[in-house]
Amino acid sequence: MPRSAVPGLLIALAILIAGLLLALTVGRYPVSISELFDIVAAKLSGRAPDVPAAAVNVIWQIRGPRVLAAALVGASLAIAGTAFQGLFRNPLVSPELLGASSGAALGAVIGIYLALGVFAIQAFAFVGGLVAVSAVYLIGSAIRARDPILVLVLTGVVIGALLGAGVGLVKYIADPYNQLPAMTFWLLGSLAAINVADLIPLFGPVALGTLVLFALRWRMNVMSLPDEEARALGVSTGPLRIAIVAAATLVTSASVAAAGVIGWVGLVVPHIARTLVGPDFARLVPAAALLGGGFLLLIDTLARNMTAIEIPLGVLTALIGTPFFVWLLASMSKTWS
Amino acid sequence: MTLSGHDLTIGYTDHVVGRHLDLALSGGEVLALLGPNGGGKTTLLKTLLGLLAPRAGEVKLGGRSLTGYSVRERARLVAYVPQSHVSTFAFTVEAVALMGRTAHGNIFSRPTAGDRAIALRMLERFGVAHLRERPYTMISGGERQLVLLARALAQEPQFVVLDEPTANLDFGNQGKVMREIRQLAASGHGVLFTTHDPNHAMRAADRVYLLRGGECIGEGPTSTILGRPQLEALYGGPVEEISDRSDGRTAFLPG
């Protein structure tokens, strides 16, 4: 682990900036970097830009909101994954494994079925995510076993399957012409439909949850110790755990409500961040946020440009995440006794 | 200042582990908790640390009920050294020692330069400062125990409670930990530790507390309480006593 976190954080920042530039310039209507700078400079100084109006529109109306959403959602999922991994003392944990994503998915699908507004769908997603994570955690810790982490992960799988059945049921009874395509599209994860108005309900909860997790990042080190040890060190683990779970679930649910279910980011990114800056949460949380944003920007740019039709984000992240998880399992099993 | 238990009934919601336990620990004194597996040593330890509420009776710290202290206040007075274990994340040795400063900051605060200096001083005290950049997961069991001791002292506590500090250590490191325990008492700390080896109590403890089946079957100065009959009663098996004729010191062998 490097003594200084600065090089690692700079690399993460560079990836985010590269992701931003790439996502803003590449697409069906290419915008060059110099055009992009001119558009931004013109906006800042209030003068008329020297580039075609179509390019200005593409940047401010179409790509801008989408790019911002990708960065926010990526950062959120990565921070939530980092927090969950620390809290549950397991580097294999991710928001989707603990039910936060599938709970939020069920909540949001019910919201769509009831034809509710954006804010109500988000509230449903949040409650769904929170209930799912709480259920997984309570059931997992109520079962006394030799390997509590395995129990937790298996509980997550079981609850996830139950929630999946719930999603299936809602899809089955949904209106096949209006609601079902929206649900299917949304369950695979996509940022294609994001517009400026969607950014507000995404930004608020993400900012709040991220602020809480950032403020608590020094305590997350102690929270990753066994509960009794953390209490003996002077941490009221009960309230703090609830605060961290609520904040991580809030950012996950807001992301799911805005962009649908995008798996794997919350698992893969914290690991890459850990190799950059080490396991200390004080530097890991900011590194994961920067990397997560950059990672999802790159994935979303790929999703837009790889083929004539857009590839759902969840499909792409799964293609990357599955081999990564297998590799992680193989390398971790060496240290398991 | 005194850490004491008064007529304690200890255990969990579904079963009681021990009853009518009284014990007291003062500053500058080492108390060893001896007894067979399942006798209630760890449960008593956790009760005295405030990690487990007593089913009846009261734990007092400095004359006040322990329940009257906040988690943070308590951690500034009583430190806990768990059995050394491998953590999930490869924190550096320095980061682990720095966790001992948790109770001295508020919930949002980052460690100060002063906190870092104290953590480093404690690592130096136990001779592991040269490992400070190494991952805690990559050092030996003995080194981990010393790092946990440094973390406990970084809390700047009055009392240090150790759960089997010599378990999983090699012979040399066992001696080192025993010497450090004596040092802690010499610097005014009250020290309580559990052990499976009566010889460790002979080496380091002023007083012993014998716990069998959740009952105290003997308590007092180490030299008067620890003898062959008491140990045979405690462990329910034969014990051999070996004495050094020149200075009268004794050691025990099982069997």
Read off the pLDDT of residues A123-140 as tens digits, 9 standing for 90 and up. Answer: 898 889 889 988 988 898
Computed over every residue of chain B, the mean pLDDT equals 92
Mean pLDDT confidence for A52-61: 89
Would you list the DSSP string of A197-219? HHHHHHHHHHHHHHHHHHHTHHH
Residue A1 lies in a domain: no
Q: Does the pLDDT of residue B238 top 80, yes or no?
A: yes
Q: What is the rounded distance in angstroms from the CA atom of residue B144 to the CA atom of residue A34? A: 55
CB contact under 8 A, B99 and A278: no
Residue A337 lies in a domain: no
Instruction: Specify the number of domains making up chain A.
Output: 1
Across the interface, of B46, B99, B108, the residue whose CB is closest to A221 is: B99
CB < 8 Å to B119, chain A: none
Closest CA to A220 of A266, A264, A293, A286: A286
Whether B115 contacts B43, CB under 8 Å: no
Residue A64 lies in a domain: yes
Q: E strands of chain B, at which residues?
A: 2-11, 16-26, 30-34, 56-61, 64-65, 78-81, 159-162, 190-195, 207-212, 215-221, 239-243, 250-254
Q: Which residue of A has its CA nearest to B71?
A: A234
Mean pLDDT confidence for A24-37: 91
Domain boundaries defined on chain B: 2-82+158-254
Tokens found for residue B2 = 């005194």
CB < 8 Å to A229, chain B: 80, 82
Residue A96 lies in a domain: yes
Computed over every residue of chain A, the mean pLDDT equals 88
Q: Which of A82, A229, A336 to mutate to test the interface with B (most CBs of B within 10 A)?
A: A229
pLDDT value, residue B99: 95
Q: Which residue of B has its CA nearest to A238?
A: B71
Mean pLDDT confidence for A39-46: 89
Q: Does the pLDDT of residue A337 top 80, yes or no?
A: no
pLDDT, tens digit (0-9, with 9 covering 90-100), for A253-271: 889 888 888 988 999 999 9
Spell out the CATH class of B2-82+158-254: alpha beta
Interface contact B91, partner A, CB < 8 A: yes
For chain B positions 120-179, those within 8 Å of chain A (CB to CB) are 133, 135, 151, 155
Bridge-partner residues for B30, per DSSP? B191
CB contact under 8 A, B155 and A236: no
Number of residue pairs across A and B with CB atoms under 8 Å? 81
Bridge-partner residues for B194, per DSSP? B33
pLDDT value, residue A254: 87
CB < 8 Å to B51, chain A: 228, 231-232
Question: What is the ipTM for the molecules in this complex?
Answer: 0.92
Would you list the DSSP string of A81-136? HHHHHHHTT-TT--TTTTTHHHHHHHHHHHHHHTT--HHHHHHHHHHHHHHHHHHH
Across the interface, of A3, A231, A236, the residue whose CB is closest to B133 is: A3
Q: Does the pLDDT of residue A63 top 70, yes or no?
A: yes
CATH of the domain at A306: 1.10.3470.10
Q: Which of the four pLDDT bands, split at 50, 70 and 90, describes residue A113?
A: very high
